[in-house]
Homo-oligomer: A and B are copies of this chain.
Amino acid sequence: MPFRHVVMFQFAEHVDAEHIERLRNGFDALPAQIEEIRSYVHGSDVNISEGNYDYVVVADFDNVHGFIAYRDHPKHVLLIEELIKGHVANRAAVQYQYGAH
């Protein structure tokens, strides 16, 4: 059963468009670096709804093991260390399985 990881960020106040572009490029590079990723669809909120978060990543894997491999992969951990940690005011995440319903 496919396994999906969804994560949203609200950026800290100091985060500017250039930082977000670097993050976007970092996310774009991950599927080629982490073989367990089946689909990776991320982007900035389009700003048509009040109170939304700023950025979302929807990542698909074959199963939970694929997700764990991604979560702990050095390239992913490096991206978090360099561009996410200390730059995010709020984070919201869900991992779920789909296809059963």
CB pair A43–B97 under 8 Å, yes or no, is: yes
CB pair B58–A46 under 8 Å, yes or no, is: no
A95 on the B face (CB < 8 A): yes
CB pair B4–A96 under 8 Å, yes or no, is: no
In the bound assembly, the distance between CA atoms of A11 and B82 in angstroms comes to 32
Residue A93 contacts which of B52, B90, B97 (CB distance < 8 angstroms)?
B52
User: Chain A, 13-44, contact with B by CB distance < 8 Å: what is the 0/1 string?
Assistant: 00000000000100010000000000001111
* 8 examples of A-B residue contacts, CB within 8 angstroms: A8-B92, A28-B101, A43-B97, A45-B94, A48-B95, A51-B93, A53-B94, A90-B92
Beyond A44-B96, A48-B64, 12 additional pairs, beta carbon < 8 A: A4-B41, A4-B58, A6-B56, A8-B92, A24-B101, A41-B98, A43-B96, A46-B96, A48-B95, A51-B93, A52-B95, A53-B92
